[in-house]
Amino acid sequence: MNGGMRWLTGMLAGLGMHPALAELTWGGGEFLVTAGGAPAAAGPTVAIHREASGTTITFMGLLQAGISAAGPWADVVGADTPFLETSDAPQRFYRSRDMGGVFEEEGVVRLVLQGPLQRHFELAFAGLPDGIFPPVREKPWFPGSVRVAGEEIRATLRVRGNSSLQECPFPKLKFKVAREDREGTPFAGAREVKVGSHCAEGGRGSIGRLREEAAVYREAMAYEVMHLLGFLSPRVERARVTYRDTSPPREGSETGWTLTRNAMLLDDAEVVAERLGGRALDDDEITALTDADFDAQTITDLRCFHVLLGNWDFALSVDGRNLWNTEVIERADGRLIPVAGDFDLASWVTEEVQDTVPHDYLPELPLLDRRARYELEVLGKSVTPAQFAAAKERFASKRSELESLVQGALVDEVGRTNALRHLTVFQNALAATQR
């Protein structure tokens, strides 16, 4: 019994990092600790059953062990529940901790996505240009799984994308995990996740995408910039994804492949909306908008943000008409909020600047500088002086933080240099634009 109490002390000390413990039960040689008096499924739990042959530890979350009740603690690598500790093993203290959300990880999340991917890439005609007679691109949900931290979780997946499907034989994806399958997993607070893929194995698409895995971390950095500037934005996480195709063999189609590439994970708009107690408008609702009455300052600031990124693949308006690459969140009070997204065609990512500036506009400057100056000048003439001044302040006040973010970001060095160049050009153009 004394030995059992020493094990229990370790559990109690470890679980002190979670909400207050409310219940301890003992019976038949077993301790069970739950967090907050809630049922076991509500949070990390540890149950220890001691017998002559050893100790059986059942747990939820991640199992950790330490040499004392105060730690230090380390994950028990490869531990599945129930975990057996033999009687001759050194005595250790145990605790369990939350697995942590997939968007709360430091560094790169490693996932395995599995399902009939090739079959659905073909249904979406991924990588095939529209041509004179555009193909009917089918993007249904299909069953699969996602594996993370050694745990395989049922999921449903689908291909996503619009113009990117014309350039990307490996398209963007989305997956969702049902409530009963995600409890106690890294997807507990991320039921629907977008996957930004590497698109292809090199080169540039006909529309302008950089078709290689370096692009996804550059785009992830754009979302981090958006968050730092205080815009409503999805959470973003860099990932290293192994894709496993389970499509049945089919004549003329290569199936059964496995591929590992860099990727980007994003919250779906519905998850962003739920954090605000609201909902995301669907595509049909967005298309039907005629009087969104978006906050004019927000629209002004977002247009500046697109200039910063060198992004041309979007459309914004205060009334919500003809939006493109812009999600819309409806708050509980009915107010609508635009959310920018899809920056894979921005020169921040591609390094390619679209030459749409009048040829006689500041011809002595490099194209990126000319474009930023021109677009900010056009914007300044379309809004009030107060709105433009407020936008300038929003970006100018974050200059050093933005530069630090890019300097420390996990991104290729060419991409980092390109992003820093965009920051400098934008801030200089902002300072030079009078309104």
Q: Any bridge partners for residue 262, and if so which?
A: 240
Please state the rounded mean pLDDT for residues 393-406: 97
**pLDDT at residue 59, rounded to an integer:** 64
- Could you tell me the two tokens for 81? 């529940």
Query: Residue 264: helix, strand or coil by DSSP?
Result: strand
User: Residues 124, 139: contact at Cβ < 8 Å?
Assistant: yes
Give which of 342, 337, 302 is closest to 320, Cα–Cα: 337
Q: Which comes out higher in pLDDT, residue 428 or 276?
A: 428
Please state the rounded mean pLDDT for residues 405-430: 97
Using 50, 70 and 90 to split pLDDT, how confident is the model at 235? very high
State the Cα–Cα distance between residues 264 and 273, nearest whole angstrom. Answer: 20
- Could you tell me the two tokens for 33? 């600790």
User: Residues 175, 186: contact at Cβ < 8 Å?
Assistant: no
State the Cα–Cα distance between residues 77 and 64, nearest whole angstrom. Answer: 9
pLDDT at 16 over 70: no
- Could you tell me the two tokens for 60? 């939820």
**pLDDT at residue 340, rounded to an integer:** 97
User: Residues 47, 82: contact at Cβ < 8 Å?
Assistant: no
Q: What phi, psi does 65 have (nearest 5°)?
A: -130, 150
**pLDDT at residue 300, rounded to an integer:** 98
Query: Residue 78: helix, strand or coil by DSSP?
Result: coil
**236-245 and 109-115: which strand pairing?**
parallel
User: Residues 391, 304: contact at Cβ < 8 Å?
Assistant: yes
Q: Which of 30-44, 96-110, 243-257 has the lowest mean pLDDT?
A: 30-44
**pLDDT at residue 39, rounded to an integer:** 31
Please state the rounded mean pLDDT for residues 316-343: 96
Average pLDDT, the chain: 86
pLDDT at 253 over 60: yes
Q: Any bridge partners for residue 279, and if so which?
A: 330
**pLDDT at residue 61, rounded to an integer:** 58
- Could you tell me the two tokens for 166? 């014309």
Please state the rounded mean pLDDT for residues 131-145: 95
**pLDDT at residue 116, rounded to an integer:** 98
User: Could you write out the DSSP letters of every residue in 206-246?
Assistant: SS--B-STHHHHHHHHHHHHHHHTT-----EEEEEEEEEE-
Q: Mind listing the pLDDT tens digit for each residue in 33-66?
A: 333 333 333 344 667 777 777 777 776 556 778 8
Using 50, 70 and 90 to split pLDDT, how confident is the model at 184? confident
Angle, CA of 33, 35 and 39, to the nearest 5°: 85
pLDDT at 208 over 50: yes
How large is the C-alpha radius of gyration of the chain? 26
Q: Mind listing the pLDDT tens digit for each residue in 152-168?
A: 999 999 999 999 999 99
State the Cα–Cα distance between residues 4 and 30, nearest whole angstrom. Answer: 9
**pLDDT at residue 69, rounded to an integer:** 72
User: Residues 127, 161: contact at Cβ < 8 Å?
Assistant: no
Q: Encode 274-301: b = buried (16+ Cβ within 10 Å), e = exposed.
A: beeebbbbeeeebeebeebebeebbbbb
State the Cα–Cα distance between residues 328 and 330, nearest whole angstrom. Answer: 7
pLDDT at 309 over 50: yes
Query: Residue 28: helix, strand or coil by DSSP?
Result: coil
* Percentages (nearest 5) of helix, strand, coil residues in the chain: 30, 25, 40
Query: Residue 324: helix, strand or coil by DSSP?
Result: strand
pLDDT at 3 over 60: no
**pLDDT at residue 11, rounded to an integer:** 39
Residue 86 to residues 2, 56, 59, 95: CA-CA distances in angstroms?
18, 9, 17, 17
**pLDDT at residue 81, rounded to an integer:** 65
State the Cα–Cα distance between residues 216 and 239, nearest whole angstrom. Answer: 9
State the Cα–Cα distance between residues 194 and 223, nearest whole angstrom. Answer: 13
Q: Mind listing the pLDDT tens digit for each residue in 260-275?
A: 999 999 999 999 998 8
Q: Which comes out higher in pLDDT, residue 135 or 3?
A: 135
Q: Is the pTM of this model over 0.75?
A: yes
State the Cα–Cα distance between residues 13 and 29, nearest whole angstrom. Answer: 20
**pLDDT at residue 353, rounded to an integer:** 97
State the Cα–Cα distance between residues 179 and 37, nearest whole angstrom. Answer: 22
